[in-house]
Amino acid sequence: MAKAQTAPEGGFIDLPGGRIHAIVMGQGPDLVMIHGANGNARDFSFDLMARMADEFRVIALDRPGFGFSDDFGGPQSPLAQADILRAAVQRLDVRDPVLMGHSYGGAVALAWALRGGDDVAGLTLLAPVSHPWPGNLGLWYRLSNSALGRAVLLPAIARLAPQAAVERALEGVFAPDPVPEGYLDHLGFDLTMRASQLSLNAAQVNALRPHVAAMAPGYPALTLPIEVVHGTRDKTVGLSIHSELLAQEVATARLTRLDGVGHMPHHSRPEQIADAIRRTAARAGLAR
C-alpha cells in the first residue's frame, strides 16, 4: 500500500538478489548521495539534488530495504550495504564518484571508501556515524528491536500513528532548526511508516556500533579527500564522538562545524553543504 501511495521518482537497477531505486539528475562528475536512518532518497530530491545538478550527475540511492529498494534479505552491515550500492552504480557507468553520506549513510560511505579503494574520488560526510559511542541507545530502539516490538509495537505504529505524531518526531530530529514546509509529504509518510522499514531500521541501528568499531581502525589509512560537516547542536549524532574524532584520525579529513545547527544540515544550511561537496570535488581534481 505504501509504495502505491508515493510514486518512485527514479528508476530501478537490477542486481542479483533484488533492485535498487536511484534518482538521477544533472550532468558532470558523479555525485552519489546516501541517506540516513529510516529515510530514503527523497530526502535529497527535496532540495539538494537540484542545487548540485548543474555541476554534477547526482545519483541519490535508496539503501537496501528503504524507500523503493528491495531489502536483499534483511539487515546488512554498512560494508554489505556499500557493496550492494557500489554494484548498483556500476550499472550506471559511475566512475570515481564523490560520495555524500548523511548520518547512518555516512557510515555506509566510509565503508564504501574502505572497501572501494581507488574507485572513490572523495567523501562529503554530513553528521556521520563513524565511531562506537558510549552507553546504550534509547528505549525506543531497544523496544523496537525486541521480539515484542517487531511482532506488536511496530505493526501497530505503522497502522495507527497519526501524521502529526511523525511530524513531532521530525521536529526533534531537525531541532533546533525548523522542518521545511512540505518535507514529510515529499519524503513520503507512507514510505517511512511501513512496518518492514521500521523493523529493518531498528535492527540496523541496534547493530551499528560493533560495525563502526570494526571499521574505525582502518580510517587513518584513507588518503582520499574528506569534507566533514556537523552541526554543533546535533542531538542525534554527537559531534565530539564522531566527526571530531574522525578529523583527528584522518589526515585528509577537514571538519566544518556549523554553529547552532542540528542533525539535518543539508536542509538548514544547504548552500554550505553544496560548498562542502564542491570542495571535495576540487580537492579530488574533478572538473566542474
- pTM for the model stands at 0.93
What does the pLDDT look like over 159-209, one tens digit per residue?
Answer: 656 678 788 889 999 999 999 999 999 999 888 888 888 889 988 999 999
Q: Nearest 5 degrees, angle CA 46-CA 1-CA 180?
A: 20
What is 9-134+208-283's CATH topology? Rossmann fold (3.40.50)
pLDDT recorded at residue 159? 63
Share of the chain above pLDDT 90, in %: 77
Q: Are strands 18-25 and 98-102 parallel, antiparallel or unpaired?
A: unpaired
Q: Which three cell numbers stand for residue 164?
A: 502529526
What residue segments make up the domains of the chain, in order of their start? 9-134+208-283
Report the residue count for the chain.
288
Give me the chain's average pLDDT, please.
91
Cis peptide before 155 (omega within 30 of 0): no
pLDDT > 90? residue 254: yes
What does the pLDDT look like over 100-140, one tens digit per residue?
Answer: 999 999 999 999 999 976 799 999 999 999 999 997 766 56
pLDDT recorded at residue 75? 84
Q: At a CB cut-off of 8 Å and minimum separation 6, what does 68 contact?
A: 3, 8, 12, 21, 40, 62, 191
CB 264 within 8 A of CB 173: yes
For residues 148 and 250, the model is more confident at: 250
Cis peptide before 64 (omega within 30 of 0): no
pLDDT recorded at residue 1? 37
pLDDT recorded at residue 2? 44
Q: Which three cell numbers stand for residue 25?
A: 539528475
